[in-house]
Structure 1
Amino acid sequence: MGPDADVRAYVCHRAWVRSAVRLPVVDERDPTPYWLVCTRRPSRLLAVLGGR
């Protein structure tokens, strides 16, 4: 989100959640560059997904 965001990105935004993680899409066949997912525990989500 913001002025530098890519319009092709998948965004799961919740107004009451103040933090988010940006997850890059590594499949070259998928035109989605990244997912932006709101979460209350970003470090925990990244740890579970193996991005830490």
Structure 2
Amino acid sequence: MNLRKVQIELDVSDVQQVLAIALDEDKDKALEYIKARLVKQIEKVLQPH
């Protein structure tokens, strides 16, 4: 996989979740969100077309 700069879009529920994680400072919840949502979006963008 070639790494490059990517741009991903967050829907309203993602924005709410990110803000909630920031307020709670819950490291486990943050890691879970990164693995469940962000990594999948980034991998999708980086896939060859």
Identify the TM-score tier after normalising by the shorter chain: under 0.3
Q: What is the TM-score of this pair, normalised by structure 1?
A: 0.23
Decide which structure has the larger Cα Rg and report it.
2
Between Structure 1 and Structure 2, which shows a larger proportion of helix residues?
Answer: 2
* Larger relative contact order (CA 8 Å, sep ≥ 6): 2
Q: What is the TM-score of this pair, normalised by structure 2?
A: 0.23
